A and B are shown apart, each in its own frame.
Chain A
Amino acid sequence: QSALTQPASVSGSPGQSIAISCTGTSSDVGSYNLVSWYQQHPGKAPKLMIYEVTKRPSGVPDRFSGSKSGNTASLTISGLQAEDEADYYCCSYAGTYYVFGTGTKVTVL
């Protein structure tokens, strides 16, 4: 049950696009289209941003999008805004458990 691998940090200027990768194995990310992404601001509970790789819950801006190729999933934030500065975590179903990513701190320059 090893954590999925994410870059520790990603940064961008307002209006730019950034992408966060989430690398797992053929037992988790590669086997299921059941990857989700969570945004967490300091001191707050996580918030669902993407589920089932590409689906956005109501209320999440369409600047957020997800994709997957093989054992790696990605979250893209287009038109980066100041309020997007937060920690982001991916999560994958793995058959009999779930596994989260190591987390990525997004900084808006």
Chain B
Amino acid sequence: EVQLVESGGTLVQPGGSLRLSCSASGFTFRSHAMHWVRQAPGKGLQFVSAISGNGGTTFYADSVKGRFTISRDNSKNTLYLQMSSLRAEDTAVYYCVKDGYDSGNIRGCYFDYWGQGTLVTVSS
């Protein structure tokens, strides 16, 4: 059974930093691209970042480029999102998402498993 468990969400001040983690199990982690998708309270889904199976290719939304860094440790089956220069508009539930393709490449919008999310609140 595929499981994605996010952690690290908390209350942080504007301008602060935070690292989210996602522990994955139930599938061959290195064979799948992974993604972070967020949802602000009462709002829609927003793509944040993606990383290929070997970590060699990354995508970012313009709104987080230069402030967030996605990475993965395939030996620990763990996905990370390092967030810095946080703003109020980054307040959201952050979902860890598994890519449905097993090529490891970042390709289509095929998000087949989602974690339950971790809440990040940016406020003074």
| Chain A residues close to B by CB (< 8 Å) | 1, 3, 32, 34-36, 38, 40, 45-48, 51-52, 57, 89, 91-93, 96-103
Residues of A within 8 A of B45 (CB): 38, 40, 46, 89, 91, 100, 103
- Looking at B16-24, B79-87, B113-121, the stretch in contact with chain A turns out to be B113-121
Chain B residues touching A, range? 20 to 34
- Looking at B7-15, B59-67, B69-77, the stretch in contact with chain A turns out to be B59-67
| Chain B residues close to A by CB (< 8 Å) | 35, 37, 44-47, 50, 59-63, 95, 100, 107-112, 114-117
Residues of B within 8 A of A1 (CB): 61-63
Q: Are B108 and A34 in contact (CB under 8 A)?
A: yes
Q: Are A92 and B109 in contact (CB under 8 A)?
A: yes
Residues of B within 8 A of A46 (CB): 37, 45, 95, 111, 114
Closest to B95 in A: A45
Bound-state Cα–Cα, A34 to B46, Å: 17
